[in-house]
Amino acid sequence: MTQDELRIQKNERKVDMGQGGWYVEWPTPKGLIRQEVPRYGIHDRTMAYPQVAMALLTNRISINQPGQSVALGTALDVVGSVMNHSCNPNVCLFFEGKELRVRSLRTIEPGEEIMHCYTDVQCDVLLRQRRLEEDYFFVCSCQRCCQELETHRLRTSDDNDSLEEIRKKQDELFTLMNNVVVEASASLGSVDVGSQLTAARSLADAAFQEGQWPDDLEPMPSLLKTLGRIWQAQGQPLEGIKSSLRGSGNATYRLGPRWCDDLFELIQVFTRVVVLQTDSPAFEDMTFPRSAELWDLFHGYLHELCLLAESVYGLDTCYARAIRSWHDNTLEFAEDPLPGTPEFQRRFRASHAKLLTWAGVDSGRWIVDQG
């Protein structure tokens, strides 16, 4: 279609909204494209052509700052928009103040394409593919997507109905998770976290006729982390840390900013556990780490987060410096051996394995490596 043909068609479809401006709706086999142009403002000029509107939509970059889970808005950047998508990206994008930064997540070989993930990298393949198709108009068939789809097929009866069933349950679990968050923000005490978890599990398990929803299949890890935070806020640190560990321990993607956020949130929940008094009933359970071991875990997790933040975002970022300062302050009165030494590393790993076993997480699944 030429520009002139497009203009004619648009004029025919245009619906006038009076003082509000006008809109055009364009049905396509994959859904409706709606262009709404307010009467006043710059939109009149920049968004008047679907090609321009689509170019803006598909090239926008979320303004995410380190440690902030909510985007401040969207931006356009000529260099940033050039990069293609990968579900297994080799760089991450973030804003340090007003500056867009691109940092490598691993070694990039000469000639290797630089790619970042357009969507939430921790989501399951079914949700990633749907979001990419809806927001960016392409179907991702990268290696990670293929592998995850293959895993789904092995877990189910290898037909499209089963995949659709999982997709439906994922939507329902997200709705449940969002409802719990909304309810908790309105009235924290009114949320019965245990019942919500039971409801979520039975809802999810129904997708697998003869089995259970796998612990590592999203959004179950995200749900467990969310419930962990609510439990902690309700003053139930043990339930909180158990749920958070099950969520973080079963997250399948542990790289870059998302893993940094996970570790940060886990430490937040852990701050209530580490201060448990020695006469707390928690210590009657001999499988639960002792007080000194909890402090080793706290210092070890924070040390891990510190190294991760510096590697992901760079030493000069506000976030990495804030984590370093928190880390140094907590170590001010700590006794030897200190994190980073081989002796501490041995103690930390033993305590970590003990904590994971207590929480019902396979200790082999989650390797925290002290650098």
* Residues at the site binding Zn ion, with contacts judged by CB under 5 A: 87, 140, 142, 145
What is the closest distance, in whole angstroms, from the C-beta atom of residue 118 to Zn ion in the complex? 10
CA 350 to chain centre: 28
What is the closest distance, in whole angstroms, from the C-beta atom of residue 308 to Zn ion in the complex? 24
Task: Name the residue nearer to Zn ion (CB basis): 58 or 198.
Answer: 58
Task: Name the residue nearer to Zn ion (CB basis): 140 or 204.
Answer: 140
Q: Which two tokens stand for residue 128?
A: 């990633």
Q: Contact at 8 Å (CB) between 255 and 223?
A: no
User: What CA–CA distance (Å, rounded) separates 199 from 213?
Assistant: 13
User: What CA–CA distance (Å, rounded) separates 323 from 316?
Assistant: 12
What is the closest distance, in whole angstroms, from the C-beta atom of residue 88 to Zn ion in the complex? 8
Q: Which two tokens stand for residue 178?
A: 């969002």
Task: Show Cβ contacts of residue 124 under 8 Å, excluding neighbours closer than 6 positions.
Answer: 148, 170, 217, 218, 219
CA 73 to chain centre: 17
CB atoms within 10 A of CB 215: 16
Task: Name the residue nearer to Zn ion (CB basis): 9 or 143.
Answer: 143
Strand 74-75 relative to strand 61-62: parallel, antiparallel, unpaired? antiparallel
What is the closest distance, in whole angstroms, from the C-beta atom of residue 87 to Zn ion in the complex? 3
> Amino acid identity of 154?
L
Task: Name the residue nearer to Zn ion (CB basis): 145 or 269.
Answer: 145
Mapping DSSP to helix (H, G, I), strand (E, B) and coil, where does residue 228 land?
helix
What is the closest distance, in whole angstroms, from the C-beta atom of residue 345 to Zn ion in the complex? 35
CB atoms within 10 A of CB 230: 21
Task: Name the residue nearer to Zn ion (CB basis): 253 or 259.
Answer: 253
Task: Name the residue nearer to Zn ion (CB basis): 124 or 296.
Answer: 124
Token pair 């997250």 is at which residue? 251
What is the closest distance, in whole angstroms, from the C-beta atom of residue 142 to Zn ion in the complex? 3
What is the closest distance, in whole angstroms, from the C-beta atom of residue 298 to Zn ion in the complex? 36
Residues in the chain: 371
Task: Name the residue nearer to Zn ion (CB basis): 84 or 341.
Answer: 84
What is the closest distance, in whole angstroms, from the C-beta atom of residue 131 to Zn ion in the complex? 11
Three-class DSSP labels, 126-144: HHHHHHHHHHHCCCCCCHH
Task: Name the residue nearer to Zn ion (CB basis): 140 or 356.
Answer: 140
